[in-house]
Structure formats: structure tokens, C-alpha cells
């Protein structure tokens, strides 16, 4: 029996507080809560369990509606009718009124904290404490977004007099927003698009992620209770079956999507008028780290390991390839080897860094990347790296990685760190400059003149440059964006609000009669 097999628990080995009761959800939200009598989509956990006979299988969690294209078409009609070109009940409310409703919505989510975190843990395999943090961060983001929206509106609505014209700017909604989030942050990434869209007066269709969608069954009654019918729709099922009919309808005004660029392209081109489609896209990344000879080694090792292995590297902002200067490559790889050897994957209710990856299919894909690299001359630095039992995989540290290996270019989205030695910093910068993706990079060093050169160049290629730190999204007030195939549009608290509204000017020439009337209108 391998070490990974020994780490797989039986049901009786799971702490009482961490156990999950399979749940069948037959509801969805479209113009109010609706019951679904059609087929269901089975939900399995990435977490493998042993049965009484010693067999291993992924845990069954329950089922969600496998909604049809007809439901999708009805949902987008309902959302468009509820928006009614801005005359609907929700966009007609003042921002202050919408803010009060969203605050109450947040207050009513708080009692669900532990239940939602348990769902996140079982549905995507995230460590329980990190799942709690995802919940807390989402609610904190929402409350800060409310405050930012009110402040932004106040600033924009101030009277401005220029060139004998007085005017103000109103921030008005765009229309129907389709929000499609990823599995790795199923609560945070979806709601941090849906909430700004709602605050600014849009109607919203949420497509629950395939992994992490079961938790939305908990949210349905809360959404239904706080928002007028038709303002929020929540759909479950196959993405192609639901999303393409919604986009083909032409009724979607905003696409807020986090996923692959190929899927984003398919959705955008399905829209009959893509020129008027507002998009907020977060897509793939192959974030590089650059380690210079004078890097502060303790900090660098810690940040690289966290950046590469936190939540198994299943984050767009993970460090996914590491360039290490040849002067320190042997020593640095030895330090990493020690840390990787000490990183034992386990269950998300335990104190571990790595947990089961999202699916057996993805684990097999990761295995293929490792095999390809080894076949082309890379070295596996940590004993047992890449070994797995179903979805439970030992992290793998690969050295001697070079161009031509799949892991050199492909985004692995898993616990593999490829290390590329370099002699001249231009080699690493060439990779970042010509890569398909351009989200972030990290540079580790101490010489200000060298760092300045790397940072200045990298800033032209990626959306964020981290100095002696891992790649990451937060803090949420910083813009989160990317270049090339990594992103379209910028999100952070204020930028997200601006993405979900249109600046509309109200103005008049400053004749005395107009000026007097303006004061009476204000």
C-alpha cells in the first residue's frame, strides 16, 4: 500500500464535525423559486474515501438540477423583462435603497457560514479554514463594495461647470449580467461579480459552477427573500446546454466570466451583437517566478512554496513556472526539495497544504505532464512526486525543465512546480514577454538596479509584478487584471463597480434661465 493510499480515510475516520450528508437539490431560481422534476446532475467530491472492503472511490455528495436550454432561454427572458430597459423595479431603486437590501442580504448569509464552508471543503477539496476564509472574505468584499459604490456615486454626481456647461454624471445600470464563476473559489469569485452588478442596478443570471454548485442550494431562498422576482436567477447544469442559448438570445449585456479563454471566445461569439457586449474576463495564467542570485533565500523559498502549492496550485494566481539563476540553482532546488518532501497531501479537515485535486481526470492530466517532462530529460527532485491514488497526489518538483516540454507552456493548475535554470535575466524576461498569458510574475532579489530593470520590463508584459512575494489577487482594493489571454477588464472594488455601469451625463448650457432651473432640479 502506497503512502497516498494510507492517507485515504474511511467514513469512520472522518471527524464528526467534518462529515457531509448527501443533499439532493431540485430547486432553481428564475422569477422566484422553482421546482425541477427533470433529470439531475450527480455531484461527487474530489475527496476519495475507502469503503469497508478497502475499495477507494470519490465521495458522493448529492445532485443538482440538470436544467434544459428551455429553462435557460426562459431565465434570460425573465431577467430582461425585469430590467425593462432600466425601468424595472430593481434598476428604478436608488443606489441607497439597493445598498440597504444588499446589506440585509449579507446579514442573512452570516448564519450559513459553517454550512457553506463545509460545502466548499467537500465540493472542491479546499482546507476547511481556507473555506471559512473564502466565506469571510466574500462578505467583507461585499460590504466594502457597498461603501465604495455610495462614495463613487457621491463623487460622480457632483456638479461640474466647464466651458459654459454645467453637468453631472449618473452611474446607471447596463442590463442583464451573466455571471459564470470557477470551481476553485465557487463562492467568492461568483458573488464578487454578481454583487457589484446588482448594486449598480443590473439583473443577474448566475450559472452555478459544476464543482461547488451544490452550495448554491443554500443561497436560493436567501436570494428569493431579498430580491424582487426576476432580478436574480440561479441555474444548474451543463454549461454548454445553458450558456450558449442565453448568449444567443442577445439579451445579455454583460458577461462576467472566469474560466478558459476558449470558453470565453465561444460565449462571446455566440452573442448576435458582440460589439455591444460588456465583458469582464478572468482566464488562464502561467505566472513565472524569477530567482536572482542575491534573493533573500528564506523569504523566497517560503513564498515560492506557498505560491506554487497553496490549494494544490489550483489558482490562476499560483506560481506555475520558476526561473532560477544558475549560480544558486543547485542550492535553491535542494531547499525546495526539502520543503516538497515535507509536504504530505491529506484531507481538507486536517492541517495540510495539499489536498485532493479537483477530479481524477485532472489528476491524470497532471500525471501526463510529469511523464512528458521526464521523458524529455527533466528530473523529479522529490521522491514519490506525482504519485497518486485517484485524486490524492504527491506534489512534484521538476528540475531541468526546458522549452518543448508541455509543462513549460501549459498551465498545469495543480501541485507541480517546473524549475528552469537560466544564465542571463533576458532568458526569463523573454519567456514572460512571449508567453500566451500575462497575468502576473514574481521576482526575487536584493539589488535595486537589477530589480528595477526586471520590474520595468515585466510591467509591460503582465498585470502585476510581485517583488519578493508570491503571485496573488489581494488585497481586493488593488486592481486585478492581466494581459493577452489572461484577462479582459480590471476588477477590484471600485473598478468592478465601474465595469457594471455606464456613465451617463446630465448637462445644460449655462444660460441664466438654465442655471436657475438646474438648481431647482438638483
* pLDDT tier, 477 (very low <50, low <70, confident <90, very high otherwise): confident
DSSP assigned state of 53: T
Pairing of strands 252-258, 278-282: parallel
User: What would the pLDDT profile of 187-196 be if each residue is shown by its tens digit?
Assistant: 999 999 999 9
Cα separation, 320 vs 408, whole angstroms: 9
User: What is the structure's pLDDT at 522?
Assistant: 78
120-133 per-position pLDDT tens digit: 999 999 999 999 99
Across 203-213, b (16+ Cβ under 10 Å) vs e yields bbbbbbbbbbb
Please check the confidence at residue 354 and state whether its pLDDT lies above 90.
yes
Domain boundaries defined on the chain: 66-283+492-501, 287-467
Is the pTM here over 0.85, yes or no? yes
Select from 418, 414, 433, 428 the least CA-distant residue to 484. 433
**What pLDDT band is residue 101 in, cutting at 50, 70 and 90?**
very high
Query: Average pLDDT of 395-400?
Result: 98
pLDDT value at 5 more than 70: no
- Which set of grid coordinates corresponds to residue 140? 467583507
Closest CA to 195 of 245, 137, 242: 137
* Terminal C-alpha separation, the chain: 76
pLDDT in tens, 309-345: 999 999 999 999 999 999 999 999 999 999 999 999 9
In the three-class reduction of DSSP (H, G, I as helix; E, B as strand; rest coil), residue 477 is classed as coil
Confidence of residue 277 (pLDDT cuts 50, 70, 90): very high
% pLDDT > 70, the chain: 99
Asked if 314 contacts 281 with a C-beta cutoff of 8 angstroms, the reply is no
Nearby residues of 162 by Cβ (< 8 Å), 6 or more positions away: none
The matching CATH number, chosen from 2.40.30.110, 3.40.309.10, 3.30.450.40, 3.30.420.280, for 287-467 is 3.40.309.10
Cell of 203: 439583473
Cell numbers linked to 333: 532546488
6 pLDDT more than 70 = no
> Of 255, 260, 258, nearest to 278 (Cα)?
255
156 — pLDDT class (breaks 50, 70, 90)? confident
Beta bridge partners of 258: 282
* Res. 301 pLDDT band, cuts 50 70 90: very high
Alpha carbons 497 and 479: distance in angstroms, whole number: 12
DSSP reduced 3-state for 333: helix
Alpha-carbon span 157 to 168, nearest angstrom: 5
Q: What angle do CA 158, 163, 168 make, to 5 degrees?
A: 20
Give the mean model confidence (pLDDT) for residues 302-306.
Answer: 97
Decide if pLDDT at 488 tops 90: no
**What does the pLDDT read at residue 192?**
94
Query: What DSSP character marks residue 26?
Result: -
Mean pLDDT of 40-49: 97
Of 201, 200, 252, 222, the residue nearest 76 (C-alpha): 252
Q: What is the CATH T-level fold of the domain 66-283+492-501, as seen in this structure? A: Aldehyde Dehydrogenase; Chain A, domain 1 (3.40.605)
Nine-digit cell string for 319: 506560481
Helices (H) and strands (E) counted in the chain, each on its own, are: 18, 25
pLDDT at position 4 over 80 = no
The residue-averaged pLDDT of 358-367 equals 97
DSSP 8-class letter at 65: E
- The DSSP letter of residue 401 is -
pLDDT band at 1 (very low <50, low <70, confident <90, very high): very low
Amino acid at each position: 500500500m502506497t503512502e497516498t493510499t494510507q492517507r485515504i480515510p474511511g467514513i469512520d475516520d472522518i471527524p464528526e464535525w467534518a462529515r457531509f450528508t448527501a443533499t439532493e437539490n431540485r430547486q432553481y431560481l428564475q422569477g422566484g423559486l422553482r421546482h425541477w422534476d427533470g433529470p439531475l446532475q450527480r455531484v461527487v467530491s474530489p475527496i476519495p474515501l475507502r469503503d469497508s472492503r478497502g475499495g477507494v472511490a470519490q465521495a458522493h455528495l448529492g445532485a443538482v438540477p440538470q436544467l434544459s436550454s428551455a429553462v435557460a432561454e426562459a431565465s434570460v427572458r425573465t431577467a430582461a423583462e425585469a430590467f425593462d430597459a432600466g425601468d424595472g423595479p430593481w434598476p428604478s431603486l436608488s443606489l441607497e435603497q439597493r445598498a440597504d437590501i444588499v446589506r440585509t442580504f449579507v446579514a442573512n448569509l452570516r448564519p450559513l457560514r459553517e454550512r457553506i464552508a463545509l460545502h466548499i471543503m467537500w465540493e472542491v477539496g479546499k482546507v476547511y479554514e481556507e473555506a471559512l476564509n473564502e466565506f469571510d472574505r466574500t462578505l467583507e468584499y461585499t460590504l466594502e463594495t457597498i461603501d465604495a459604490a455610495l462614495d463613487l456615486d457621491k463623487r460622480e454626481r457632483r456638479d461640474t461647470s466647464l466651458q459654459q456647461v454645467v453637468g453631472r454624471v449618473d452611474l446607471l445600470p447596463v442590463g442583464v449580467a451573466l455571471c459564470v464563476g470557477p470551481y476553485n473559489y465557487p463562492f467568492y469569485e461568483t458573488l464578487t461579480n454578481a454583487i457589484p452588478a446588482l448594486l449598480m442596478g443590473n439583473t443577474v443570471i448566475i450559472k452555478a459552477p459544476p464543482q461547488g454548485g451544490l452550495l448554491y442550494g443554500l443561497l436560493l431562498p436567501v436570494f428569493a427573500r431579498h430580491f424582487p422576482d426576476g432580478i436574480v436567477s440561479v441555474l444548474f447544469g451543463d454549461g454548454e446546454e445553458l450558456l450558449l442559448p442565453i448568449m444567443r438570445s442577445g439579451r445579455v449585456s454583460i458577461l462576467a466570466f472566469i474560466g478558459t479563454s476558449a470558453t470565453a471566445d465561444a460565449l462571446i461569439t455566440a452573442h448576435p451583437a458582440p460589439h455591444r457586449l460588456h465583458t469582464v474576463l478572468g482566464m488562464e495564467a502561467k505566472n513565472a517566478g524569477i530567482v536572482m542570485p542575491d534573493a533573500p533565500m528564506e523569504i523566497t523559498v517560503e513564498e515560492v512554496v506557498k505560491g506554487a502549492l497553496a490549494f494544490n496550485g489550483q489558482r490562476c494566481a499560483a506560481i506555475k513556472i520558476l526561473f532560477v539563476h544558475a549560480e544558486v540553482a543547485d542550492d535553491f532546488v535542494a531547499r525546495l526539495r526539502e520543503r516538497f518532501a515535507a509536504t504530505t497531501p491529506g484531507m481538507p479537515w486536517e492541517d495540510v497544504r495539499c489536498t485532493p485535486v479537483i477530479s481524477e481526470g485532472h489528476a491524470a492530466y497532471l500525471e501526463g505532464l510529469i511523464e512528458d517532462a521526464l521523458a524529455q530529460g527533466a528530473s523529479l527532485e522529490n521522491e514519490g512526486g506525482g504519485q497518486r491514488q485517484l485524486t490524492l497526489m504527491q506534489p512534484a518538483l521538476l528540475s531541468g525543465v526546458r522549452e518543448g516540454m508541455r509543462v513549460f507552456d501549459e498551465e498545469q493548475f495543480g501541485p507541480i512546480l517546473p524549475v528552469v535554470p537560466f544564465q542571463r535575466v533576458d532568458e526569463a524576461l523573454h519567456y514572460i514577454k512571449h508567453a500566451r498569458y500575462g497575468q502576473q510574475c514574481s521576482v526575487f532579489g536584493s539589488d535595486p538596479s537589477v530589480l528595477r530593470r526586471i520590474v520595468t520590463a515585466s510591467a509591460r508584459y503582465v498585470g502585476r509584478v510581485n517583488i519578493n512575494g508570491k503571485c496573488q489577487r489581494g488585497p481586493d482594493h488593488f486592481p486585478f487584471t492581466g494581459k493577452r489571454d489572461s484577462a479582459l477588464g480590471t476588477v477590484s472594488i471600485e473598478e468592478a463597480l465601474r465595469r457594471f455601469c455606464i456613465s451617463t451625463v446630465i448637462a445644460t448650457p449655462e444660460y441664466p434661465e438654465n442655471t436657475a432651473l438646474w438648481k431647482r432640479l438638483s
